[in-house]
Amino acid sequence: MDAISVIRTKRDRGELSPEQIDWVIDAYTRGEVADEQMSALAMAILLNGMNRTEIARWTAAMIASGERMDFSSLSRPTADKHSTGGVGDKITLPLAPLVAACGAAVPQLSGRGLGHTGGTLDKLESIPGWRALLSNEEMLNVLDTTGAVICAAGDGLAPADKKLYALRDVTGTVEAIPLIASSIMSKKIAEGTGSLVLDVKVGSGAFMKNIEDARELASTMVGLGTDHGVKTVALLTDMATPLGLTAGNALEVRESVEVLAGGGPADVVELTVALAREMLDAAGIKDADPAKALADGSAMDVWRRMIAAQGGDPDATLPVARERHVVTAPSSGVLTRLDAYGVGVAAWRLGAGRARKEDPVQAGAGVELHAKPGDTVTAGQPLLTLHTDTPEKFDYALRSLDGSYDIAAEGTSYEPTPVVLERIA
């Protein structure tokens, strides 16, 4: 085997053989295939695609590059969720303890934010003392004692994907659906969960801007999960508008706790319950009612135990940004659009996100929404509040909000977009 022949096969729109795939993933992980060679192959895959057989073998090779976790010692069935990322997407925080309260074990390996999309670990690290880095033994112990764990993936899990992901990020090949699907699914399958629910976001604030691409990605990932023996379903969900009323780390934790307390924004509650029902069904738990577990406080009890088990203080005061700037409605009428991408970029520029993986984030930074599409607003009322510790960032953040919202005349009819657009199984 040699890298050039593998590149030529895909460049010329051929099908990579199982042997070629196994070799190139292993050789790249070991450093025998150079970054520039893997970059060329990734670009060929972006341009010419892969069939289901190739994607399944590529995923299997990435899984084989590292360890596989085993949760067979647990007394509960396991179920996990993965979101492709969005603005205000704090769903993992209330969802994991909610599903655990209903009888499943939730081993949630999560990541950090990059660019305009927030990261679950960044959000939870705004809780004083909370730890994202757990050993496999610690992870299993938290999962066994509380029913849910949210933590970072260990270095031994699909190391080929970690290396390839970093390369795709700097070579313009992130958009390749075969590589997106195999990246997500290699980690989730190696994680060892028995069932998986995918939340594939669609809209301006998501990676997939249109429903056709989102459908293709979801179908590919559902197929990969099925091929590897993991019961997998996907929901396509709206990300044209931010989820909930906050985008930012501590702001989103605070909102998640409101949901666990039986309140919170209607769209966050709706999606949390919808995903919980899918996860419970996939895990074979038929008689639990997640809406009831939110209402009776049992999900909140699991949240408090889970946070404490990872060193956090569930009663601690969350960080608050030192400076605020209020954006007011320029006219009266009906808010008909609030662009998720514009809000996400504003939160990122205020310090809630990072441009590079090594950049720090501000726990209190972000954007608070005072109205959502369909709401009636009056001229001069607060529309958004920007939060940051560094007020010199306000002007830069405000530029991203130019043209990000529309206010129509009073009495204008507004048809809301459903939170869940499609289900793929």
List the catalytic residues.
Answer: 82, 161, 168, 183, 187
Burial 222-255 (b: 16+ CB within 10 A, else e): bbbbebbebbbbbbbbbbbbbbbbbbbbbbbbbb
Strands in 405-408's sheet, in edge-to-edge order, are 376-377, 333-338, 405-408
3-state secondary structure (DSSP) of residue 234: strand
Give dist(CA 351, CA 109) in Å, integer.
24
Burial 326-363 (b: 16+ CB within 10 A, else e): ebebeeebbbbbbbbbbbbbbbbbbbbbbeeeeeebbb
Give dist(CA 300, CA 296) in Å, integer.
9
In the chain, the amino acid numbered 217 is L
Strands in 195-202's sheet, in edge-to-edge order, are 80-83, 195-202, 231-238, 420-424
Residue with tokens 């501000």: 362
Give dist(CA 250, CA 127) in Å, integer.
8
Tokens standing for residue 131: 């730890």
Residue 402: how many other CB atoms lie within 10 Å: 8
Give dist(CA 386, CA 327) in Å, integer.
8
CA–CA distance from 238 to each of 38, 120, 137, 343 (Å)? 34, 19, 37, 15
3-state secondary structure (DSSP) of residue 384: strand
